[in-house]
Structure 1
Amino acid sequence: MIKDHDSIDVFIGVDVGKSDHHAVALNRAGKKLWDKSLPQDEAKLKTMIKVLSKHGRLLFVVDQPATIGALPVAVALASGIEVGYLPGLAMRRIADLHPGEAKTDARDALIIASAARTMPHTLRNVETADEQVAELTMLCGFNDDLTKEGTATSNRIRGLLTHIHPALERVIGKHLDHPAMLELLAKYPTPTALRRAGKARVETLLRKHAPRAFKRWVPELFEALDQQSVIVPGTEAAGTALAHQARSLAHNRAAQTDVLTLIQALVEAHPLHELLTSMPGVAIKTAARILTEVSGKDFASPGHLASYAGLAPVTWRSGTSIRGDHSSKKGNKVLKSALFLSAFASISSKDPASRIYYDKKRAQGKNHTQAVIALARRRCNVLFAMLRDGTIYDAAGQELAAA
């Protein structure tokens, strides 16, 4: 919600683009003061702001505050202008209220400016980014990309191994997170290469990277090799791909380790570190996600936070024929996932409050997933109070509340 909306004189809607943006500015009466395309350039953005500032107080609203929208937002904030963000789903719904079906940058910019002028409740504040949170956002996004790439590469490796030697895949596939197996695949990617290397060389390689596990893995590997004598067509080509994929996955794992180390350092240095991690089920990764998704946002109530995270139940009702509460399919999916997983982890933690509440919901007939979602929703109340009051988690108080 934009504060002091009534004091705004000019509403600037910017449909951001990779190389060019389109801006439309409306005054309080709805008259167009600006309707132009402008490049992704600091000087041009400052010129527009300077020209429009003559008409009074400005509100700068974008449809994308990050990536391609980061520069316009930064320029506006540096100019001392209040900046808002119109979420994509809200924008599409508002667009349906405007005449015409055309999809142009100029029309989108006009829709953003009109929403800023007439529907301030649809906007979200974009405040000056905390440097630590900005770095965390960048690193968490990079870590997500690395995780997806790593999973895809791991699946490709297992698929290739299953194609050429299923028994070998059953041994190697479950240990792909260990650097020893990736080194083995990079050097001896085919069954023939493994047989030629022999137990002694394989033992030497694995001992270097897995000093304990190699004694168990070597017999398993050669026992698996003996289960297949035929050579499947395409094995040599698969071997070439496997060697490259193994090196790629090893590089991916090393990059993830480096990124997670940086994330941990940033979270531990943040003033809210002790507060967030005092909550059962919240470790470094979850704390990082809470910081990136919640910092700088103003939530009026625990329900507002839960709704933003997509954890607030949604009632579906049509007369007397359809009734029921269902979990929302909207909201911030990154935050929802983090809060759901932390709630799940808290069930088996040393804090009994989560387990008591979870068991209570199961006793009411909810299945496992529903009970965890209900627990995550309840923990939104606790998190909201902790952030509002600046207090750490009170285990004793929560246990009494959950009973």
Structure 2
Amino acid sequence: MRKLWAGVDVGKEFHWAWVVDAEGTRVLARRVENDESDVLALIAEIIGLGADEISWAVDLTTVESALLLTILFERGQRVCYLPGRAVNQAAAGYRSEGKTDAKDARIIADQARMRRDLAVLRPSDELIVELRMLTGRRTDLVHDRTRAINRLRQLLTAICPALERAADITGHRGWVLLLSRYQRPKALRRAGISRLTTLLTGLGLRERTAARIAEAAVAAAKSQATRLPGEEITAGLVAGLSKEVMRLDGQITDLDTAIEDRFRRHHLAAVITSLPGMGFRLGAEFLAATGDLSAFSSAGHLAAYAGLAPVPNDSGKRTGRLHRPQRYNRALRRVFYMSALTSIRWDPSSRVYYDRKRADGKGAKGAVIALARRRVDVLWALLRDNRTWEPQRLAAATPAA
């Protein structure tokens, strides 16, 4: 049986493809435009080499490789994934110190020929792709909102430090609404509590909440009679950033609606959200990170992918030490970590487990990670059996760690 291995160094505008045979000899090497016609021509050319079996390998699974992977999957080709870190580490074993896309493609093909531990990629269904796009966009917006709020606080300090301390910008949208209209101490004092309360109430806040914010704002304004340099320009920037935060809040809300709508369509949505601490947002991020759950053979496999299965770090007489693996999915680790934090607050059994780990000498973060690892086993069992979480049943079935 003649076998060929095709390695593709993925790029935004073009890819480099390198094909080797069982001895590692180059059979084909050329640049490929990231265009449907050129990709189809490459695949037809490689298939036309007459091999009984062709194995493909890529170093990226991001949007740059979407067209290539989709076409390969449609034609029933087997595709493996070799991370970029592994390509860089293997490069030292090949001739020439320089780095080129062609050399990377050669390394990918040769490593795919020699290694048997590469993950096999599977096509993602439409729903998973949509969730990845939506959750990724939501993450970008949240980061933009955080940057805007940090800058807003900095500028507000340049006008009135007392007002910046009093303003709970991240905790309540009422402060952002207020700062979009009033920023300077003199203007807040002149408006007074009554007018500010009426304004905030008209913008949708409850009267009690509006009054509390107005009172805090006016009290902070009264504590400073000094006008700081550049106050007028800074106030305009504060107003603009406040409106930007409100705009981002609206976009995030719209995205949450779209994410929940698509997440609820997934056949495992009820199973995932039945686990305490897993709402639709974390559930959507879980599906976006894992994709085809059949790719994971066990709970330990899933935990390793999430970076929750420590690996040995022994050397000489130093044995028994463990550390976090370097290769893992950080988005999936975040899902389990955040859900564990939430479950400590709302789920009694999770709280008991967390307290037991703290009593055993673990720090707060270590205890949360231990709980997250335990929850991987629980969620895996639920997904495997396609059943929802039942506290008493799982408490009896899950051994203490």
Residue 38 of structure 1, CA deviation:
1.5
| Residue type of the alignment partner of 1:309 | A
- Residues 345-373 of structure 1, C-alpha deviations (whole Å, 9 max, x = no match): 22233452x23322332232212211111
Amino acid at match of 1:343: A
Taking a change above 3 Å as real, the CA distance of residues 39 and 192 of structure 1, as seen in their structure-2 partners, is farther
Give the TM-score taking structure 2 as reference length: 0.92
**Which of residues 302, 308, 311 in structure 1 aligns to 2:308?**
311
Aligned to 2:157: 162
- 2:125 aligns with 130
The alpha carbon displacement at 1:329 in A equals: 5.1
Residue of structure 1 equivalent to 2:235:
239
Secondary structure in 1 aligned to 2:38?
helix
What's the C-alpha RMSD, in Å, of the aligned pairs?
2.0
- Residue 183 of structure 2: which of 179, 189, 202 is its match? 189
Instruction: Assess if the C-alpha contact under 8 Å between 2:189 and 2:222 holds in 1.
Output: no
User: Is the alpha carbon distance of 1:29 and 1:332 closer, same or farther for their aligned partners in structure 2, counting shifts above 3 Å?
Assistant: same
Deviation at 1:314, TM superposition (A): 2.9
Contact 1:59 1:82 in 2 (8 A): yes
2:358–2:367 CA contact under 8 A, matched in 1:
yes
Q: Is the 8 A contact 1:42 1:71 kept in 2?
A: yes
Q: CA deviation at 1:158?
A: 0.7
Please tell me whether the aligned partners of residues 188 and 217 of structure 2 are also in contact (alpha carbons under 8 angstroms). Answer: no
1:120, distance to aligned residue in structure 2 (A): 3.0
The match for 2:345 is 348
What is the SS of the residue equivalent to 2:180? helix
Are 2:47 and 1:53 aligned? yes
Residue 3 of structure 1: aligned partner: none
Cα shift at 1:133: 0.7
Does the Cα contact within 8 Å between 1:133 and 1:291 map onto a contact in 2?
yes
After TM superposition, give the deviation of residue 398 of structure 1 in Å. Answer: 2.8
Aligned to 2:363: 367
| CA offset digits 1:270-308 (Å, max 9, x no partner) | 100111111121111121111111122512222221111
Structure 1, unpaired ranges of 5+ = 1-6
Identity percentage of aligned residues: 36
Choose which of 280, 284, 287 in structure 1 pairs with 2:280: 284
Match of 1:131, as an amino acid? Answer: E
Aligned residue for 2:77?
Answer: 81
Residue 70 of structure 1 deviates from its aligned partner by 1.3
1:87-118 Cα offsets, whole Å, 9 max, x none, are 22222222232233211110111111111111
For residues 140-167 of structure 1, the C-alpha deviation after alignment (integer angstroms, 9 at most, x for no partner) is 0001101111001001101111122011
CA 1:142/1:322 → structure 2, altered by over 3 Å: closer, same or farther?
Answer: same
Secondary structure at the aligned position of 1:164 is classed as: coil
Rounded Cα–Cα distance in structure 1 between residues aligned with 2:326 and 2:103 = 28
How far 1:309 moved relative to its partner? Answer: 0.6
Are 2:272 and 2:283, in contact at CA under 8 Å, matched by a contact in 1?
yes
Match for 2:5 among 11, 17, 21? Answer: 11
Aligned to 1:336: 333
- Unaligned 5+ residue runs, structure 2? none
Letter in 1 for 2:152: I
